[in-house]
Amino acid sequence: MANPLVIDVHVHFFASRREGREQVNSYQGTEFGGPPVPPYCKYDGVLEDVLDNMKVSKASKAIMVHYYLGGLDRYSYVSKLPVAKREQALKEFSATHKDALKRSNYWACEVLKPHKNLLPYVFVDPWILGPKDAADHLTDLAKRHGAKGIKLHAPSQMFSMGDKRMWPVYETCRDLDLGIIAHSGTSVGRTQYGDPKAFVPVLKAFPKLKLVMAHLGNGSWRQTVEVAKAQPNAVFDTCELIEWLGRPGSPTRQEFAQIIKDIGPQRVMLASDFPWWDTKHVADTVLGLPVLSTSEKEGILGANAARFFGF
């Protein structure tokens, strides 16, 4: 395999090294059995690190998923409350974040503007922006600021992927040809906001949406094949789960490769979740998987993303 196309569809970036390292170090991987966490990459996640990671991995493009960190503060606060009090607390906390969320999206687009191979995916949250406001904000970001899609993390944002408040956003993504990178995986607590089955209403309602279910289902990876067989428009990325292979809550390397084979390798894309892990390490892991052919691995490394997103 000589110089295959490499595209990373799930890369985070941060305003400072301190901010990035705090986010990376806070992750414990409880859905896979918890610490020890597989070794992180050497980077902190600032733009300089992103560019070096691209160079080392020979990646030609990366989707840069921007997460508004105020949403994590909200989750930390609301998730500790009794269930009966959470919805009101979400509304009250979120009401103060409207302008800050918008500013953070404009910042992300501006930072990435000089780098045409780094594609900005902005943050949308139904608790902070109402349906019309969210759709209007996204339209402005796409038409005037270069946004190419959105990032969603239903478990930490505490909304279901099928929440009808998101319909205008999904319609905007469809109409403007914007992509969606959405966390899929187990939520803490009884309500499963973002496991693969939670995507089914969206996949049915928006069959042409460029929606990627990140992490191959993560802690809910056992659902992915069932959902993929029922929904031919379901596609996935590799990140995070691929770093935990062989742990108590994860598939083995053989099982992971067979899951991809059963889904259809053409429906799976390379992703690192940088700076938690780096692109080269994930690419090397893909190349070392059993079951899959060389051409199928090349597709995962980049050709699938190029076809799906029209790069």
Question: Residue 1: its pLDDT value, please?
Answer: 64
Question: Residue 71: its pLDDT value, please?
Answer: 87
Spatial separation of the C-alpha atoms in residues 31 and 133, rounded to whole Å: 34
Considering only CA atoms, which of 68, 29, 23, 6 is closest in space to residue 248?
29
- Below-50 pLDDT ranges, the chain: none
Considering only CA atoms, which of 126, 137, 81 is closest in space to residue 104?
137
Question: Residue 31: its pLDDT value, please?
Answer: 87
Question: Residue 250: its pLDDT value, please?
Answer: 95
pLDDT, tens digit (0-9, with 9 covering 90-100), for 36-76: 889 889 999 999 999 999 999 999 999 999 999 988 888 88
pTM of the predicted structure, to 2 decimals: 0.96
Spatial separation of the C-alpha atoms in residues 155 and 235, rounded to whole Å: 19
Q: What are phi and psi of 137, to 5 degrees?
A: -65, -45
DSSP code of residue 247: S
Spatial separation of the C-alpha atoms in residues 149 and 241, rounded to whole Å: 23
Question: Residue 55: its pLDDT value, please?
Answer: 97
| DSSP character string of 131-154 | HHHHHHHHHHHHHHS---EEEE-H
For the chain, strand residue ranges (E) read 7-11, 61-65, 118-123, 149-152, 179-183, 210-214, 235-237, 268-269
| DSSP character string of 259-310 | HHHHH-GGGEE----BTSS-HHHHHHHHHT-SS--HHHHHIIIIIHHHHHHT
Q: CB neighbours of 97 closer than 8 A, spacing ≥ 6?
A: 68, 70, 71, 74, 128
Question: Residue 176: its pLDDT value, please?
Answer: 98
Question: Residue 156: its pLDDT value, please?
Answer: 92
Question: Residue 75: its pLDDT value, please?
Answer: 87
DSSP code of residue 244: G
The Cα-based distances of 191 to 78, 154, 160, 263 in angstroms read 14, 11, 9, 26
Spatial separation of the C-alpha atoms in residues 234 and 116, rounded to whole Å: 27
Question: Residue 275: its pLDDT value, please?
Answer: 97
Question: Residue 205: its pLDDT value, please?
Answer: 98
pLDDT, tens digit (0-9, with 9 covering 90-100), for 116-159: 999 999 999 999 999 999 999 999 999 999 999 999 999 999 99
Spatial separation of the C-alpha atoms in residues 70 and 159, rounded to whole Å: 16
Q: How is the chain split into domains, by residue range?
A: 7-301
Task: Please tell me the class of the 7-301 domain.
Answer: alpha beta
